[in-house]
Chains A and B, each alone.
Chain A
Amino acid sequence: MFETVWATVNFSRGLFGKPCSAARVEEVLRAVSLWDKRNAKIMMLSGGMKRRVMIAKALSHDPMILFLDEPTAGVDVELRRGMWNMVRELRTSGVTIILTTHYIEEAEEMADRVGVINNGQILLVEDTATLMRKFGKRRLQIQLQAPLPSIPAALGNFELELSENGNELGYTFDAQSEGGGVASLLRRLGELGIEFKDLHSSESSLEEIFVNLVSKRR
């Protein structure tokens, strides 16, 4: 509380059995953008800065495994990006990081593996890429040249939705399948004389996968 940032980070380093190293502490403080505040008392810092001090304390003794419990909760966007970069650098340097977060975007952005916990139970632990492939959905939106009154019966075997004004067709398909039948859908549209002016495809985010997983358990 009354100590300076420099003193408290040095204290943590010593406490975990590491010899004094001004150079290492400087490096850590610069990494969390606290070098300018090294002589400031902890009590004078903002909430986000205090959070960074905690991270600096944890990093000061060069841990092999780092537990970060919602490190970016309540910090501004710029700082969050900075912290993400720092976590990436640590990961690259070989530190194993276990990060808990409510920001799914954060997990998607940084994690190699993602675990989903709901009501204290681990629902799954999976490589992020595999998880996205396995549980993710892709969606193709087709802007039509002329509105359709309804979905033609000939397109019945595709999982299609028509917008209220009939100007847009939405096609949702499994992210795991190669192409998911997009080519055959487009071919079929051509055969039926339905012309389109634009295509837009999107993938479900980890957040959508998370919500989907959790809601299934309710």
Chain B
Amino acid sequence: MNVHAIRAIYGFELSRWFRTLGQSIASPIISTSLYFVVFGAAIGARMGTIDGVSYGAFILPGLIMLNLLNESISNASFGIYMPKFAGTIYEVLSAPVSALEVVIGYVGAAATKSVLLGLLILATARLFVDYNIDHPFLMLTFLILTALTFSLFGFIIGIWADGFEKLQVIPLMIVTPLTFLGGSFYSIKMLPPVWQKITLLNPVVYLISGFRWSFYGVSDIGVVTSLFMILAFLVACLVTAWWIFKTGYRLKS
């Protein structure tokens, strides 16, 4: 295992994050704070509790997930797309680095950034809402697994994309709508029965539900099912990444 190479890629990617702290940390924290002000304090104060949890606290796991998914995808996709765009990817491809080491470096860095951001949002939320974490270990597991999975997904998007527009298409057109419709701001039990069934086709529902369970012990879907779904998605992404390096798809062509 080329540990120095993994460390080089990982460190290089993290330093990119620190170079753009305003964009990478301040922007998501400010926008999330606005959500808490509007939905938590202003509107949430006039709403009742959901499953015994105040509305402001109820939306917290969903808001963290929303940022986690977007940041994981955008960090990882941008991280691998830029070397492709600048032509420096050939240095990585010509170096004695295996596909696994490349993935660990890029995806590990993107996931680290997302987890740190998630924890920062969690800390910031303390200023606006009162919440508790019933299962902190499981909360961290969900946070890390989701960050890893979606960073890997972003990495695949970054390889697939052949223009900056494509980098944005999936996060904006698919992931964000799925997150909003995945129970970030409501319990799916509040939907009509037909829509409850349709919503179950949305994979993000499982992530938010499981994550929320780790906070308050309440969820729309069983926590084991949620864990299984995220692991299944992680495996699917791993297989895709393995195939990309095996075939050189959009890397060597």
A interface residues, Cβ below 8 angstroms from B? 1-3, 7, 10-20, 57
Contact = CB atoms under 8 A, between A and B. Distances in A.
17 contacts: A2-B16, A3-B12, A3-B16, A7-B12, A11-B8, A11-B11, A14-B4, A14-B5, A14-B11, A15-B9, A15-B91, A16-B5, A16-B96, A17-B2, A20-B4, A20-B7, A57-B91
Nearest to A12: B91
Contacts of B97: 15
A1 B5 contact: no
Nearest to A2: B19
A3 B95 CA distance: 19
A190 to B, nearest CB: 66
A79 B97 CA distance: 33
Given A7-B12, A11-B8, A16 B95 contact: yes
B92 interface: yes
Contact of A17 (B4, B82, B91, B92): B4
B86 interface: yes
Nearest to B2: A17
A26 B19 CA distance: 22
A18 B12 CA distance: 15
Interface residues of B, number: 18
B86 A17 contact: no
B15 interface: yes
Interface of B: 2, 4-5, 7-9, 11-12, 15-16, 19, 82, 86, 91-92, 95-97
A1 B11 CA distance: 16
Contact of A18 (B4, B15, B82): B4
Contacts of B4: 13-15, 17-20
B11 to A, nearest CB: 8
B70 to A, nearest CB: 22
B22 to A, nearest CB: 14
Given A11-B11, A11-B12, 19 more contacts: A1-B82, A2-B16, A2-B19, A3-B12, A7-B15, A12-B91, A13-B8, A14-B4, A14-B5, A15-B4, A15-B5, A15-B9, A15-B91, A16-B5, A17-B2, A17-B4, A17-B5, A17-B96, A20-B7
